[in-house]
Structure 1
Amino acid sequence: MPPDIATSLTAALKKVYDSSAFKDFMTGRGFGTVWRDAGQFATFMDQADRRMGRAMKAAGFAKA
């Protein structure tokens, strides 16, 4: 993705994340939120994918 578009999308998402409407919606349903920029989110997803893979293998749902 071109950097200027990524910057624009990040700014738009951060504006939504910071809005009271979003915060009220999420907390009203019992969800917590954590802001992560693109790099932090990629790291989070990599870690989550590895954990899910290990759990699926341990449960016999995925092959080694």
Structure 2
Amino acid sequence: MKEKLISKASLDNHLGCFGNFNIQNPICKKLCVLSLRCAIERDHNNRLELLEDLMSSDCEFIKLQ
């Protein structure tokens, strides 16, 4: 019984994956492993990071010329 209360409390304090799925995190693994929304958001975040990197590289290149 006490173990269930502790695990419930840890779940309540956990913020969630928010697109940063980590297979090593037991809570993320349990709650998000089959979540399509989590997978889509992770992919979207990766694409945005790539786009930001490309944009910042282009801007620096233009400034140097």
Q: TM-score, normalised by structure 2?
A: 0.41
Q: TM-score, normalised by structure 1?
A: 0.42
Larger-gyration structure (1/2): 2
